């Protein structure tokens, strides 16, 4: 066997392995979609019915009429969207400050921010709950959004990114009569778009999938996010009846995230690959 035959064989083996692994990962998703397309009564007999017809969209029709899933979807979009925007704005400004400005105790403050990375949510949840109770912020959008804005990882990422931009660009802009804000806004910030995309995606996904804080803070059904809402539905149906309906809700929950993935695929791959290299 020649060297090129060997390589070809290796490539085929690798491809076959990846296809099998990919298929295994897709099985639960396909299972969810299949179940969502079956009537609840069919599934009550046996979930194996999902492998053959008849298929129906009655669950999708029902979800638009009776469930709170649209409200939860909207809540999730609002909370995740605003949290992402907030994190990007704050982390960019803080990153620029730490990377470019000189102020007293800058390095110590940066270290303090980094300490935030080491503190788990569990350690602060009770105090945070008490604080938000005192501020009457539970069951409100600010109550759901504000805790996620403290993003030490984001500040760290943006600081490192700003530091990597040559200072000559700032100096060229200074000589071009640009104000400090203009240098930040017009010269440096556009160069951080790859970092912003990475941070934005991770923040959005993290916020979208967050379960614990919304579960604690949102006690009214109209303020549930999608994760909390679906979980509440699951308890109601106990997976004994209405399984198709439940799976339809899951598909609904997954669609926005799928869209985000498709749009930002390039950046997600780059971000994950970058993290792996580091």
- Residue of 46, 122, 177, 240 interacting with another protein (CB under 8 A): 177
Please list the alpha-helical segments (H only) found in 138-221. Answer: 141-149, 152-164, 167-175, 180-182, 193-209, 212-217
Cα torsion angle, 98, 103, 107, 108, sign? negative
Complete DSSP assignment for 30-52: HHHHHHHTS-HHHHHH-GGGGGS
Please choose, out of 141-149, 173-181, 219-227, 257-265, the segment that lies near another protein by the rule CB under 8 A.
173-181
The residue (of 191 and 260) whose beta carbon lies closer to another protein is 191
The yes or no reply on residue 221 touching another protein (CB under 8 A) is no
Please choose, out of 24-32, 86-94, 101-109, 182-190, the segment that lies near another protein by the rule CB under 8 A.
182-190
Q: Residue 104 CB, nearest distance to another protein (Å)?
A: 17
- Residue of 174, 238, 259, 273 interacting with another protein (CB under 8 A): 174
Pattern of binders to another protein over 151-170, x per CB under 8 A? ---------------x-xx-
The yes or no reply on residue 22 touching another protein (CB under 8 A) is no
The residue (of 177 and 239) whose beta carbon lies closer to another protein is 177
As to burial, measured by CB atoms within 10 angstroms (0-12 exposed, 13-18 middle, 19+ buried), residue 178 is middle
Cα torsion angle, 252, 199, 187, 278, sign? negative
Rounded Cα distance between 187 and 100, Å, is 13
- Residue of 85, 90, 93, 178 interacting with another protein (CB under 8 A): 178
As to burial, measured by CB atoms within 10 angstroms (0-12 exposed, 13-18 middle, 19+ buried), residue 256 is middle
The yes or no reply on residue 182 touching another protein (CB under 8 A) is yes
62 touches 259 (CB < 8 A): no
- Residue of 144, 158, 173, 228 interacting with another protein (CB under 8 A): 173
The yes or no reply on residue 172 touching another protein (CB under 8 A) is yes
| Binding positions for another protein, rule: CB under 8 A | 166, 168-169, 171-178, 182, 186-187, 190-191
């Amino acid at each position: 066997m020649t060297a090129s035959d060997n390589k070809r064989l290796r490539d085929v083996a690798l491809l076959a392995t990846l296809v099998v692994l990919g298929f295994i990962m897709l099985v639960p998703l396909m299972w969810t979609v299949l179940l969502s397309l079956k009537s609840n009564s069919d599934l009550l007999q046996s979930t194996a019915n999902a492998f053959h017809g008849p298929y129906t969209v009655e669950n999708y029709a029902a979800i638009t009429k009776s469930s709170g899933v649209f409200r939860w979807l909207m809540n999730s979009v609002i909370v995740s969207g605003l949290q992402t925007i907030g994190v990007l704005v704050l982390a960019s400004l803080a990153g620029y400050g730490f990377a470019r400005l000189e102020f007293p105790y800058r390095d110590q403050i940066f270290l303090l921010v980094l300490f935030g990375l080491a503190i788990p949510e569990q350690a602060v949840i009770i105090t945070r709950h008490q604080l938000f109770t005192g501020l009457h912020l539970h069951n409100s959008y600010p109550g759901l959004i504000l805790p996620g804005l403290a993003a030490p990882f984001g500040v760290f990422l943006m600081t490192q990114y700003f530091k990597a931009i040559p200072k000559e660009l700032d100096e060229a802009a200074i000589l071009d009569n640009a104000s400090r804000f203009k240098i930040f806004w017009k010269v440096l910030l556009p160069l951080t778009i790859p970092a912003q995309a990475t941070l934005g995606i991770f923040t959005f996904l993290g916020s979208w999938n967050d379960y614990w804080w919304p579960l604690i803070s949102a006690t009214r059904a109209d303020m549930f996010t999608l994760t909390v809402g679906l979980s509440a539905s699951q308890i109601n149906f106990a997976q004994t009846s209405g399984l198709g309906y439940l799976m339809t809700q899951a598909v609904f929950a997954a669609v926005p995230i799928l869209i985000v993935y498709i749009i930002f695929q390039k950046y997600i791959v780059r971000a994950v690959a970058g993290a792996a290299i580091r």
